[in-house]
Structure 1
Amino acid sequence: MTASSRSGQLGARLLHNRGMRASEEALTFLQPDLNQLGDPFDLPDMEAAVDRVFRAIGNQEKIAVYGDFDVDGLSATALLLHAIRDLSGTAVAHIPGRDGSGHGLDNNALTRLNADGVTLVITVDTGSNDADQIRFAETIGVDVIVTDHHIVEPGLRRPLALVNPHMASDGVGEGLTGAGVAFKLAQALYSRTDLNWPGHVIALAALGTVADVGPLKGENRVIVSEGLRQLQSTSHAGLTALLKLAHPNGGDLDTEALSFNVIPRLNAPGRLGAAVPSLNLLTANDPGEAMTLARQVDDMNTERRRLSQEAWDVARLELGNGPMQPALIVKSARFKSGILGPLAGRLSGEHGRPAIAIALGETHARASARSPESVDIHAVLSAVSDRFDQWGGHARAAGFTVANEHLDEVMDAIQGGVAAAGKDPGAGPPLRADAEIGFSDLGASTWDFIKVLGPYGEANPAPVFVTRNLNPVQIRTMGAGGRHLRIVLSDDRETWDAIGFGLGKAPLGDGAIDAIYSLRTNTWRGRTKQELHLLDIRPSAYEL
């Protein structure tokens, strides 16, 4: 069998593993195009939302975009501010603080906005379940349009317009994030004019989609694919300054670079209390101002990393070495509320079970929960939601605020709910490979196909391969305490460099080894290198 035919068979298997059964379906997947975007008016209440926005623009009303402090909410806020201003509207933003009103609409904030002349509020990434606050807004003469992607609780009074895919039928808008729904509103607004939306609008939507781990299929795949292309060549002052610090080595900008370098920086100010510097950066038009903001955000990210490590050390001490409960729950008055989500995510990822990180306050506790696929943490929390002052989320991530007097009861209920799920939460999903291959299969055509198959993320993971009976040619560890593994592997015909994050202490034995890995293109100081990204490595069961 020739190398090209082997490569073709491997590509067909990768497509099959991602649910592709027909050639037309595969071509659509491999060639994401703006023409694949759905009609935004298929989303519920979009017509009413667009009519009200244009009426506000025509009447010279002041519009407030009411966002959220994570990157999904910030990018959604920024893209709608750009769109409304581009269409000659007057728009301001409101981003709540983590340590203030928190997620969702707040009556005090609505009152202040109204006093500043706002008569229309458009929420992004929030608001679906804020019926009381929306009713209050109506009493002070403020209309509310909700754009959101969170689960809608039944029986609540509807606002003027509720643009939420969960209210749609036939899967319209399925999987869109807060930024994705906001982009659909922008798409609808521009469609009523002679203007084309600028590239940074979809670039911001891509940032929010990747940040909120939206499934990269359907419209999300188009948004992220086109958004990455626009980011790569953007002339937007804020995005250019951000990428200069977050992606200094150049090379292709992919979802991994966004997830590990760009998004954490944008999240940092909000995690430390006030997300406004990130929003100002995403809406900056002056290059000098943008670079000043980018450096400020970068400095805050350094502080965020320090606090995260401090919280991790506290959590490890609290958990100790004893037997693990169904859910890992850590709590401390030293935790900053902004680092709870990443802390819970790291605990859950390392131990393969739900984790809840709780910041203790004088009267209330604030918590973030993360969970593997084996447990629906939103369903677990819903059983005790009557004890929460605020809460929300989805199957893999959620958060709540609870009075201290109810905290023990809530923690017991969470442990019981996870245990009642009937699954071993600590087992974790096994590593699954797309194919077993030899190094001879890693030719240029395979690397080219891997690039076309991206962007990678939720619902489109990077392909994973297994190769057996490899010889380690060079071995060294790197990072604090030798945490990571750098190794050169050979099959006696070809040699590949490989890196394994967190595998510095993996047993290698004294003979051949088996490796499970994905393919990674790394750019450093202008040089691009292809290498293997090890997911696990072990001594071979047998040697040829």
Structure 2
Amino acid sequence: MIKRWVFFPPNRPLQTEIASKLKISPLLAQVLVNRGVADIASARSFLQPQISSLGDPSLLPDIEKASIRVNQAIREGERIVIYGDYDVDGLSATALMYRCLKLLGAQVSYYIPERLEEGYGLNADAIQRLRKDGADVILTVDCGINACREADIARMCGIDLIITDHHRPGQEMPNALAVVNPKLQSPNHIFRDLSGVGIAFKLAWAIGQNFSSQKKVSPDFKDFLLSAMGLVALGTIADVVPLVGENRVVTKYGLHALQHTEIPGLRALLDVADLSRINLDAFHVGYRLGPRLNAPGRIGSAGIVVELLTTTCKNRATEIANFLEQENKRRQEIQVDILVSARKKIMHELNLDETTAIVLADHAWHPGIIGIIASKMVEEFNRPTVMIAVADDIGHGSARSIPSFHILEALESCRNTLLSVGGHAQAAGLKIHPDNIDEFRNMLNMATSQRLCKTDLVRILNIDAEITLSMVSKAVVAELGRLSPHGEGNPIPLFAVTNVKIVGQPRRIGSKGQHLSFYVKQGEVAVRAVAFGMGEQIDRLKQNGRTCSLAFAVKINTWMDGEQLELEVKDIRFDND
């Protein structure tokens, strides 16, 4: 697929000032400017995230009311139920809050809805069942902000409902005892992009403060909060919220806490994922741990994940971790089948030249897997995509979008064809009657065609700077490492180099020859380059004397106790094309 290279405009004065004051290279300084850093203080805090910079929990709306009510329930022995969600963010938030309340002696249990039977969020039947089982307080994590009807039912049942959520509020607010959501506040006062587990962490902190007579958490509770940052990192990375501001702080410290965790379930999970002896980064969480934690909720029941994250029994933790491993393999097999089917539909049913939004539906697809496939379709075709799994006269849809397009707003403009819709700018879920799918496809394409032009459908590579090969070294890679953890809002730096010559003999690598390995030379400097998924371009590389331009990330490849500088190629432009 053709990619459009977009270079960040250099800001020489600010770059020079940051480099001089912080004694860093101009290249690192320029990347910081590209990430939105506008002054020395912001640059310093970006490079040196501190726990002390986390905002006080009391700044969040309704959090005092929520923490006081929870503490009252703890003192009076009332039953608290944590109502979570079946993705990693919701599961880690549930586990964090459960561990917090258990530590304080609460009568607490948790409830995770079934993805296929109950769907996302609070539902009336569950509330009524929980009340019959004796629930006095229901505390939601990562859900509930739009559950207005359910909040009324909870109130009628005599349940005090506390909602903690990070999703965008609707026009109507649920009539709950407390609604803790940073998006209810103006952006000047608080950090608004916390994950669901990030908000649960803030509430746990506030509960700990209120539990203490000195309004200061006890040493044991402080240790709990530091340990719990491992859970915060899990949900924050997996939910793809921006890794800037407070999210950057909790992720940086959380990855360290995760690596050294004493939580049996996390240790067992690290073991099965072969990560116990590795310095963890966001990639390991997003692509190794996250999929294993998500797997049961996608194809079965997610509650077992909370058991994994809360059990004190090492043997049980190992048993569950092994089960997650098998469920993840089963998920991968289902995923391959749906991916093949979706590509065939695109080839035979759609004209991509006339399609600004991909909408696909099938009765054979598993509703728990289609969100992953929607993401892959966006990666491959660079169009907003909705995948719909149809079963029992209802379509369950997962939507994903390109960076420049707010998919939830577009879906809401098609609301009269949908049974329900909710989500974020880049990811959303919906329900639809099968008879409405064609009309919905037309409406969504009309909405997207009005807001997107041809250039929007070309994948963009945001290039941090054009450099020369002589500027690339192991020392530069080490310095750029200070920008981690990487993720949404803080991508791995990309650079471009022009007029480099392909030398030696390029070769295909990988089990199916799907990748490329070759060397490029500029002046006297030669560096190895690896291009994943570009194996079919080998003939173009092999033409004698070819020069090219590369867009790449730079990294150190460790192999057989050695270290080699390497360019991870994202795009190749041949100078004679």
- Coarse TM-score class (shorter-chain normalised): over 0.9
Structure 1 residue 366: deviation in Å?
Answer: 0.6
Structure 1 residue 187: deviation in Å?
Answer: 1.8
Structure 1 residue 262: deviation in Å?
Answer: 1.1
- Which residue of 412, 435, 443 maps to 1:382? 412
Aligned to 1:212: 239
- Which residue of 506, 509, 513 maps to 2:548? 513
Structure 1 residue 424: deviation in Å?
Answer: 3.1
What is the DSSP-based 3-state SS (H/G/I as helix, E as strand, rest coil) of the residue aligned with 1:338?
coil
Aligned to 2:384: 354
Matched, 1:174 2:205: no
Report matched runs for 1:164-203 at 5 Å: 164-171=181-188, 172-192=190-210, 193=212, 194=218, 195-198=221-224, 199-203=226-230
For 2:291 and 2:174, how far apart are their aligned partners in 1?
Answer: 36
Structure 1 residue 292: deviation in Å?
Answer: 1.2
Q: Is the 8 A contact 1:71 1:207 kept in 2?
A: yes
Structure 1 residue 204: deviation in Å?
Answer: 0.7
Structure 1 residue 275: deviation in Å?
Answer: 1.1
- Which residue of 466, 488, 513 maps to 1:436? 466
Specify the code of the residue in structure 1 equivalent to 2:573. Answer: R
Deviations 1:70-89, CA, capped at 9 Å, x for gaps: 11111111111111111111
Aligned to 1:537: 572
For 2:239 and 2:505, how far apart are their aligned partners in 1?
Answer: 38
Provide TM-score, normalisation by structure 2: 0.89
How has the CA–CA distance of structure 1 residues 341 and 425 changed in structure 2, closer, same or farther, with 3 Å as cutoff? farther
Aligned to 2:495: 465
For 1:339 and 1:526, how far apart are their aligned partners in 2?
Answer: 38
For 2:394 and 2:526, how far apart are their aligned partners in 1?
Answer: 57
Unpaired stretches in structure 1, ≥5 consecutive residues: none
How has the CA–CA distance of structure 1 residues 498 and 220 changed in structure 2, closer, same or farther, with 3 Å as cutoff? same
How has the CA–CA distance of structure 1 residues 137 and 270 changed in structure 2, closer, same or farther, with 3 Å as cutoff? same
For 1:466 and 1:408, how far apart are their aligned partners in 2?
Answer: 43
Unpaired stretches in structure 2, ≥5 consecutive residues: 1-18, 213-217
Specify the code of the residue in structure 1 equivalent to 2:554. Answer: L
For 2:259 and 2:529, how far apart are their aligned partners in 1?
Answer: 27
How has the CA–CA distance of structure 1 residues 436 and 250 changed in structure 2, closer, same or farther, with 3 Å as cutoff? farther
Q: Is the 8 A contact 1:247 1:257 kept in 2?
A: no
Moved more, 103-112 or 306-315: 103-112
Aligned to 2:16: none
Q: Is the 8 A contact 1:281 1:293 kept in 2?
A: yes
Aligned to 1:121: 138
Report matched runs for 1:267-278 at 5 Å: 267-278=294-305
What is the DSSP-based 3-state SS (H/G/I as helix, E as strand, rest coil) of the residue aligned with 1:253?
coil
Specify the code of the residue in structure 1 equivalent to 2:325. Answer: D
Report matched runs for 1:241-260 at 5 Å: 241-248=268-275, 250-260=277-287
Matched, 1:231 2:249: no
What is the DSSP-based 3-state SS (H/G/I as helix, E as strand, rest coil) of the residue aligned with 2:462?
coil
Deviations 1:23-67, CA, capped at 9 Å, x for gaps: 111111110010010011101100110011101101111111111
How has the CA–CA distance of structure 1 residues 59 and 387 changed in structure 2, closer, same or farther, with 3 Å as cutoff? farther
Specify the code of the residue in structure 1 equivalent to 2:57. Answer: P
Structure 1 residue 377: deviation in Å?
Answer: 1.1
Q: Give every structure 1 segment of 4 or more consecutive aligned residues whose post-TM-superposition deviation is greater than 6 Å.
A: 4-7, 524-528
- Which residue of 53, 59, 66 maps to 1:49? 66
- Which residue of 420, 425, 442 maps to 1:412? 442
Moved more, 211-220 or 283-292: 283-292
Aligned to 1:475: 506
Specify the code of the residue in structure 2 equivalent to 1:212. Answer: D
Structure 1 residue 425: deviation in Å?
Answer: 7.2
Report matched runs for 1:265-344 at 5 Å: 265-320=292-347, 323-324=351-352, 325-344=355-374
Deviations 1:396-439, CA, capped at 9 Å, x for gaps: 11110122233332222212111122433762342122122223
CA RMSD of aligned residues (A): 2.2
Q: Is the 8 A contact 2:155 2:176 kept in 1?
A: no
Moved more, 235-244 or 509-518: 509-518
Q: Is the 8 A contact 1:251 1:523 kept in 2?
A: no
Q: Is the 8 A contact 2:167 2:424 kept in 1?
A: yes
Structure 1 residue 249: deviation in Å?
Answer: 7.2
For 1:158 and 1:482, how far apart are their aligned partners in 2?
Answer: 58
Q: Is the 8 A contact 1:187 1:197 kept in 2?
A: no
Count of paired positions: 539
Q: Is the 8 A contact 1:7 1:446 kept in 2?
A: no
For 2:281 and 2:184, how far apart are their aligned partners in 1?
Answer: 32
Aligned to 2:14: none
Deviations 1:151-174, CA, capped at 9 Å, x for gaps: 111133431111011111234131
Specify the code of the residue in structure 1 equivalent to 2:338. Answer: A
How has the CA–CA distance of structure 1 residues 255 and 380 changed in structure 2, closer, same or farther, with 3 Å as cutoff? same
For 2:455 and 2:99, how far apart are their aligned partners in 1?
Answer: 44
Moved more, 276-285 or 157-166: 276-285
Matched, 1:39 2:56: yes
Percent of aligned positions that are identical: 35
Deviations 1:479-536, CA, capped at 9 Å, x for gaps: 4643222334444644433322222223424323322111234556877665322111
For 1:209 and 1:58, how far apart are their aligned partners in 2?
Answer: 31
What is the DSSP-based 3-state SS (H/G/I as helix, E as strand, rest coil) of the residue aligned with 2:173?
coil
What is the DSSP-based 3-state SS (H/G/I as helix, E as strand, rest coil) of the residue aligned with 1:505?
helix
Q: Is the 8 A contact 2:89 2:235 kept in 1?
A: yes
What is the DSSP-based 3-state SS (H/G/I as helix, E as strand, rest coil) of the residue aligned with 1:196?
helix
Report matched runs for 1:23-38 at 5 Å: 23-38=40-55
How has the CA–CA distance of structure 1 residues 427 and 41 changed in structure 2, closer, same or farther, with 3 Å as cutoff? same
Moved more, 373-382 or 34-43: 373-382
Structure 1 residue 189: deviation in Å?
Answer: 1.6
Structure 1 residue 8: deviation in Å?
Answer: 1.3
Matched, 1:73 2:103: no
Q: Is the 8 A contact 1:378 1:394 kept in 2?
A: yes
Moved more, 406-415 or 233-242: 406-415
Deviations 1:248-267, CA, capped at 9 Å, x for gaps: 37332111111111111111
For 1:213 and 1:347, how far apart are their aligned partners in 2?
Answer: 17
Q: Is the 8 A contact 2:395 2:431 kept in 1?
A: yes
For 1:180 and 1:220, how far apart are their aligned partners in 2?
Answer: 8
- Which residue of 75, 81, 102 maps to 1:58? 75
Moved more, 317-326 or 134-143: 317-326
Aligned to 1:12: 29
Q: Is the 8 A contact 1:368 1:398 kept in 2?
A: yes
For 2:547 and 2:418, how far apart are their aligned partners in 1?
Answer: 55
What is the DSSP-based 3-state SS (H/G/I as helix, E as strand, rest coil) of the residue aligned with 2:431?
strand
